[in-house]
Structure 1
């Protein structure tokens, strides 16, 4: 894959991961019961949906450039990005097993992308 496409693929994975953090922030902002009004007025939810929409368009562009079997393994990085972002932004615990799994994911990406 060309370097530009790899960079844009990584950007998509990062944006998807940030979207997950925004979804978590949105979920924390809801009071029970969730109403249509609370959905529409939840800024975190709106931001996450907008980011996901833009990222989906980017992903479609990537898939025009490379086969899915080359691009999709990069999505595995979200399993490393999301817990790391949750630790940085939400102060959630981060376990060493996350990094061990992330190393295996990186090895798999390197294996499949060459």
Structure 2
């Protein structure tokens, strides 16, 4: 396997997870779905960076799909279910449980098993 291709498989869920954290931070400024909140979003740095990350992730996803079957590549997107709660714990101080850690371990194990099949 090519390092760049494998790195892209892992980096995509990380980039998506960072985008989710930025969207959560952005949500603090959205009081309602009204014109004033939408205007605030249009100049919110966190929101703009999150959108840019998603744009980069979309281009990277097309690159990944050029080199991997969709069925193999898509399973790595499951890592977002591992990364988002971990990042929310570190950056947003949201709680994390042992059950979550066990579930995350099963996700990683499942991806590893399916990848080597």
TM-score range, shorter chain: over 0.9
2:31 corresponds in structure 1 to 31
> Does 2:67 match 1:53?
no
How far did residue 33 of structure 1 move? 5.1
Deviations 1:45-87, CA, capped at 9 Å, x for gaps: 1111110001110011000001011111111111110000000
1:86 corresponds in structure 2 to 88
TM-score, structure 1 normalization = 0.92
Distance 2:86 2:96 in 1: 7
**Long gaps (5+) in structure 1:** none
> Does 2:95 match 1:99?
no
1:65 corresponds in structure 2 to 67
1:41 corresponds in structure 2 to 43
1:8 corresponds in structure 2 to 8
CA RMSD of aligned residues (A): 1.3
**Long gaps (5+) in structure 2:** none
